[in-house]
Chains A and B, each alone.
Chain A
Amino acid sequence: MAPLTRDELAARIARDIPYGAYVNLGIGAPTLVADHLEPERDVVLHTENGLLGMGRAAVGEEVDPDLINAGKIPVIAEPGHAFFHHADSFAMMRGGHLDVCVLGAFQVSVTGDLANWHTGEPDAIPAVGGAMDLAIGAKQVWVMTDLLTKTGSSKLVAACSYPLTGKGCVSRVYTDRAVIEVGPGGARVLDLFGTTMDELRELTGLELTQ
């Protein structure tokens, strides 16, 4: 077995989302999860700009510039959808009403700290959007990412070196090589994809257990 492709990882995350859950999928790779949600699971997608019951990307005649997602891409709305304003939308997050949120990451620490909004480079223009609200709001915050950066460093780390998005907020990290539970008790490997525990320890430089 090889490490998972992006699509395979998205399919795995989709299978782990509970029946009937209210879910927010972050911008970028996490949006792929939507393509793998089986309709009979009745998952309802939330988008921060004021829609519950978001559907797939709109095509052709369906495109309506007043109906967009958090990435400002035109989408369709599913039957039973509802619109609301921004303060309500973020009350849904902050108030713990969302069951699952899936986010991308620059780094995640073994204790669940998340860094995904700012590289901290002097010439970077900081832009946070809804990332900090999502990170602390949903009942479960999952991260979807490659285990390694393009230069081969582990994104799962003992402590984040990039500026934090939230402290101790992530509960699970889905990577192409492993699914890892993180939190106050440290990291625990739940599943491996084409990678042994020894290889995972070597790649991350962390004392991981199963």
Chain B
Amino acid sequence: MHSKTSPSVAEALDGVEDGATVLVGGFGLAGQPIALIDGLRERGTKDLTIVANNAGNGDTGLAALLKAGQVRKVICSFPRQVDSWVFDELYRAGKIELEVVPQGNLAERIRAGGAGIGGFFTPTGVGTLLAEGKETRVIDGREYVLESPIKGDVALIGAYQGDQLGNLVYRKTSRNFNPVMATAATITIAQVDEIVEVGSLDPESIVTPAIYVDRVVEVGVREWLR
């Protein structure tokens, strides 16, 4: 059996280069692959473009990576939150680029990236600032705007359990962007609370099939679930 397990976060992140586009799962802290993000920060990998729903919460995880000055650009739907002070300060100081994308368009652009779709027409954003300069088309009497796929060099995934082959399951609303992002990167790296034996995950319940996953690293039960 070809095992995709990595013995450590540092080894799981091997080969992630400066300037990479990194898809980062999670919605707020739920499903955010914090151990992998911390690993990226410790490696000092820089000049990154981060694709995520948010631009960091509090001072940990994604916020800490931003604070370390390793991120050049964020593509996200909702940067401004009550606890997004790290991003807010960098943005106001002109030290970080921002592309705001409606949340459903963000998910669908990543889905398209992973599914080999060259672009799609969506009604979301028509007639707004976020559709300016984009091609539009009327289909069956309704106006749509053309959106392009997003692909990553790397996807960092926060899952609940994985097996050695890379099959993944998630826990509750920590699923969010993770299964979509897992499909859309050259290298998909998943952190899981627990690695389980091949054959022990219910095949009917596997959310991310192993074909999408390149590396799995066990990080232990997250503090907040204890």
Query: With the chains together, A19 CA to B123 CA distance in Å?
Result: 28
Chain A residue nearest to B106 in the complex (CB) = A86
Number of A-B pairs, beta carbon distance below 8 Å:
145
User: Considering only CB atoms, which chain B residue lies closest to A64 in the complex?
Assistant: B172
A51 to B81: give the CA distance in the assembly, Å: 21
Knowing A87-B180, A132-B128, say if A68 contacts B173 (CB, 8 Å). yes
Indicate if B61 sits at the interface (CB-CB under 8 A). no
CB of A164 within 8 A of chain B? yes
A60 within 8 A of B: no
A167 and B28 form a contact (CB under 8 A): no
A127 CA to B87 CA, complexed, in Å? 12
Contact pattern, A 41-54, Cβ under 8 Å of B = 1, otherwise 0? 00000011111000
A38 CA to B57 CA in the complex, in Å? 35
A111-142 with Cβ < 8 A to chain B: 118, 123, 125-133, 136-137
Q: Which residue of chain A has the shortest Cβ distance to B110 in the bound complex?
A: A87
Chain A interface, DSSP helix/strand/loop, else mixed: loop
A167 to B131, CA, bound (A): 12
Question: Does B43 make an interface contact (CB < 8 A)?
Answer: no
Whether the pair A85, B178 counts as a contact (CB closer than 8 A) is yes
**When the two chains form their complex, are residues A128 and B27 in contact, meaning their CB atoms are under 8 A apart?**
no
B108 nearest CB neighbor, chain A only: A87
Within 8 A of B (CB), among A152-171: 163-167
Does B27 lie within 8 Å of A136, measured CB to CB?
A: no
**Could you tell me the distance between the alpha carbons of A20 and B166 in the complex, rounded to whole angstroms?**
39
For the complex, is A193 an interface residue (Cβ under 8 Å from B)? no
Contact A132 B102 (CB under 8 A): yes
Interface residues of B in 123-155 (CB under 8 A from A): 123-130
Contact across chains for B176 and A49 when beta carbons are under 8 A apart: yes
Q: Tell me, yes or no, whether A72 is within 8 Å of chain B by CB.
A: yes
- A6 close to chain B: CB less than 8 A: no
Residues of A within 8 A of B (CB): 47-51, 64-68, 72, 77, 83-87, 89-91, 93-94, 118, 123, 125-133, 136-137, 163-167
